[in-house]
Chains A and B, each alone.
Chain A
């Protein structure tokens, strides 16, 4: 088995999971795609495999895991800053930002 840098779980998924820290500028090859990483994507975080527009469903495990809230290009980092959950949103929420630890 060769060490992979990212993993797409289902053929239709538009994000892959980083299997190590990915650096801006490197090229990730998976499932016949060549994705140029546009910004750092930490271990276990999600890498966009296509250009995503606000309102698009983010697909992982072959299922929607949330909705895109800000455009992200293929190779970008997909997380709470540009997507959000569609479930259990009890209050009109202010976007929260993760402070550096």
Chain B
């Protein structure tokens, strides 16, 4: 049983937990302009890719789909799409419009290739959207409308012992209520294949999970690196994690105990409720953006020694069970679970607290990452480029 939250109704798709005006630069040439627009206006989230032409094949498809995923994101009420190339700008704008967003699409071609003209037009368009969106009121929605991304970063053994099982316990409750959650970081399935397969909804899913982990392991070997000292990193090792197997076995606890319904590709939305795995890189910026583009409205992010990074479009609840970390980075940790680590609070009581906090943030309470402006979105690259 989970209480409802107060979010923003959307013309199509899940409700938003924020009502953001997004300035989205879809080509690298206009991303500095997006940053200036973001610095000029209040109540605007400015994001952009650093890339543009020369992308090929799946890399190109994933990149385009990810930009569309951001423009159509549940937490976005309206978007000003800027870019150098009219076809890309118009395609992303049209996709957002089809999802019921307020849209302005402006390319450098429309502005005589003068970036200051583009900047001026985009600022005015964004201001109008902010003005209109600010009138929309929150409404009540069931918790089952939430799609959560599950992340861990700068882990230590307290992550695997408490913080990740705590997230997993809340995921169990959300899934039992009809909600959806996605975990990724495929490298952190290596060594945890046995318990992952045991949770797979069917043998095909089990085989996909094992194959995805094997592909990542093969990438590390083919890349000529020693996975130890890369993942786990020096920071992880200093904190007490000795191997990827140990890190993975702790990491997968985030997914809880309910059946894993399937494996989705990077940035793609899970096709139904329940727990889903995303085959994706492990580094937090590109991992979180995979969840963002899949339409996750919020993220739960566990850390061992501390990790300041959050998503720009998904409010990201940061939690730790490490007592030293909880005491040190007080303006980073949204939920302190160190009492569970110390044996002074039950996991069940902490799950209750985390669930209440999740719904509070879904209804508008700000995370530290939002207040500090730590958010960004980084689209993963894959394969050759021209």
Contacts and interface: CB of A to CB of B under 8 A. Distances in A.
Interface string A1-20: 11110010100000001110
A88 B346 CA distance: 36
B242 A66 contact: yes
A60 B249 CA distance: 9
A60 B191 CA distance: 11
Contacts of B322: 43-44
Contacts of A66: 242-243, 245-246
A80 B190 contact: no
Contact of B227 (A3, A7, A63, A85): A85
Contacts of B228: 80, 84-85, 88-89, 93
Overall SS of chain A's interface: loop
A83 interface: yes
A89 B227 contact: yes
Contacts of A17: 157, 161, 240
Contacts of A36: none
B341 A88 contact: no
A87 to B, nearest CB: 5
A7 B221 contact: no
B229 interface: yes
B242 A3 contact: no
Interface in A57-101: 58, 60-61, 63-66, 78-80, 83-91, 93, 96, 98, 101
A35 B221 CA distance: 38
A44 B158 CA distance: 6
A83 B234 CA distance: 16
A87 B224 CA distance: 13
A88 B217 contact: yes
Contacts, number: 119
B242 A90 contact: no
A63 B226 contact: no
A98 B240 CA distance: 11
20 contacts: A1-B344, A2-B343, A18-B240, A19-B342, A42-B240, A44-B322, A45-B157, A60-B246, A63-B249, A65-B191, A79-B242, A85-B242, A85-B243, A87-B190, A87-B191, A87-B217, A87-B244, A88-B190, A91-B226, A96-B229
Nearest to A45: B240
A88 B221 contact: yes
Contacts of A42: 240
Nearest to B192: A63
A44 B227 contact: no
A78 B191 CA distance: 18
Given A2-B343, A42-B240, A96-B229, A65 B223 contact: no
A89 B221 contact: yes
A9 B250 CA distance: 11
Nearest to A57: B245
A63 B222 CA distance: 26
